[in-house]
């Protein structure tokens, strides 16, 4: 009789596909369906549900390569990179890099960046709501917690947009019309959107995402473009809804 931990390691290997379960099969009652067929019920569930989860997070990526190729690639990924924790909306962060390494995807050079955009969309949608800014100190300008940057030499936002209808039509767009720098975030109506940014604005936004104060973000932006003017960009950010504005009620709460 194996110790429980050894048994679980053996079953874990068989379920993820990184072992054949041979060591644990003798521990499983072999009647009716055989032990291997019984263990396969769990392995099938693992594989199918996680491939489905990736397909739901990366729908445009799947359309670019076709369902069969996508599921075969996802199948390999779920074997090589199992989830590390049970919150499944957080599974798939490594999938774009995995796709980039596949030789077969070399003919679709923008594939991994489209996947990175889809991962950013997923992460932005599930990001926590912000705590209202308690301070009206302008040096503490904060972006919404959903905000993240996607940078690509390809026009991946146009590729994504072209695949929102029934027919994905790449002929109508210039995939090579990049580079694009996208600030992706959740809109006030809970849809996810993005704005295309020039280089200096990207450096500025990256600073804010990393928690830099305004002066530091400005320094970074001016390193990219000495003539960078923050005022119109901050106004555009506020219009986009990606900035957490001080909540006047919150301020009164503190005064009381």
Q: Enumerate binding residues for other proteins (CB under 8 A).
A: 1, 3-5, 7-9, 11-12, 15-16, 26-29, 32-35, 37-42, 45-46, 49-50, 82-90, 125-129, 146, 186, 190
Q: Smallest gap, in angstroms, from Cβ of residue 229 to other proteins?
A: 33
Residue carrying the six token digits 């990207």: 202
- Closest of 43, 36, 10 to residue 1, by C-alpha: 10
Identify which of residues 46 and 194 has a Cβ nearer to other proteins in the complex: 46
Q: Smallest gap, in angstroms, from Cβ of residue 125 to other proteins?
A: 6
Identify which of residues 3 and 172 has a Cβ nearer to other proteins in the complex: 3
Q: How far is CA 88 from CA 1, 94, 113, 120, 121, in A?
A: 33, 13, 21, 15, 15
Identify which of residues 68 and 189 has a Cβ nearer to other proteins in the complex: 189
CA–CA gap between residue 58 and residue 50 (Å, rounded): 12
Residues 185 and 144: beta-carbon distance below 8 Å: yes
Identify which of residues 87 and 231 has a Cβ nearer to other proteins in the complex: 87
Q: Smallest gap, in angstroms, from Cβ of residue 7 to other proteins?
A: 7
Q: Smallest gap, in angstroms, from Cβ of residue 64 to other proteins?
A: 26
Q: Smallest gap, in angstroms, from Cβ of residue 42 to other proteins?
A: 5
Identify which of residues 54 and 237 has a Cβ nearer to other proteins in the complex: 54
Q: How far is CA 50 from CA 37, 44, 101, 120, in A?
A: 20, 10, 20, 19
User: 106 Cβ partners below 8 Å, 6+ apart?
Assistant: none
Identify which of residues 167 and 249 has a Cβ nearer to other proteins in the complex: 249
User: 98 Cβ partners below 8 Å, 6+ apart?
Assistant: 73, 76, 77, 80, 81
CA–CA gap between residue 119 and residue 94 (Å, rounded): 9
Identify which of residues 59 and 83 has a Cβ nearer to other proteins in the complex: 83
Residues 63 and 128: beta-carbon distance below 8 Å: no
Which pair of tokens denotes residue 98? 């995995």
Do β-strands 142-143 and 243-244 pair in parallel, antiparallel, or remain unpaired? antiparallel
Q: Smallest gap, in angstroms, from Cβ of residue 29 to other proteins?
A: 5
């Amino acid at each position: 009789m194996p110790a429980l931990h050894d048994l679980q390691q053996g079953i874990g290997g068989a379920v993820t596909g990184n072992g054949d379960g041979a060591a644990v099969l003798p521990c499983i009652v072999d009647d009716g369906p055989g032990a291997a067929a019984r263990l396969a019920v769990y392995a099938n569930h693992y594989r199918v549900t996680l491939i489905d989860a990736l397909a739901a997070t990366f729908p445009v990526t799947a359309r670019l390569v076709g369902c069969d190729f996508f599921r075969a690639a996802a199948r390999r990924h779920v074997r090589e990179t199992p989830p590390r924790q049970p919150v499944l909306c957080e599974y798939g962060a490594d999938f774009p890099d995995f796709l980039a390494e596949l030789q077969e995807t070399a003919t679709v050079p923008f594939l991994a960046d489209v996947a990175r955009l889809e991962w950013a969309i997923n992460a932005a949608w599930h990001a926590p709501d912000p705590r209202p800014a308690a301070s009206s100190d302008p040096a503490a300008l904060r972006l919404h917690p959903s905000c993240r940057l996607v940078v690509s030499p390809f026009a991946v936002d146009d590729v994504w947009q072209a695949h929102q209808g029934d027919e994905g039509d790449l002929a109508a767009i210039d995939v090579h019309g990049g580079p694009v720098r996208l600030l992706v975030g959740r809109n006030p109506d809970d849809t996810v959107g993005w704005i295309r940014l020039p280089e200096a604005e990207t450096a500025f936004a990256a600073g804010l995402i990393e928690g830099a104060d305004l002066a530091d973000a400005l320094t970074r932006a001016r390193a990219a473009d000495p003539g960078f003017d923050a005022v119109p960009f901050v106004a555009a950010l506020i219009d986009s809804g990606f900035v957490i504005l001080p909540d006047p009620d919150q301020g009164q709460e503190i005064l009381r």
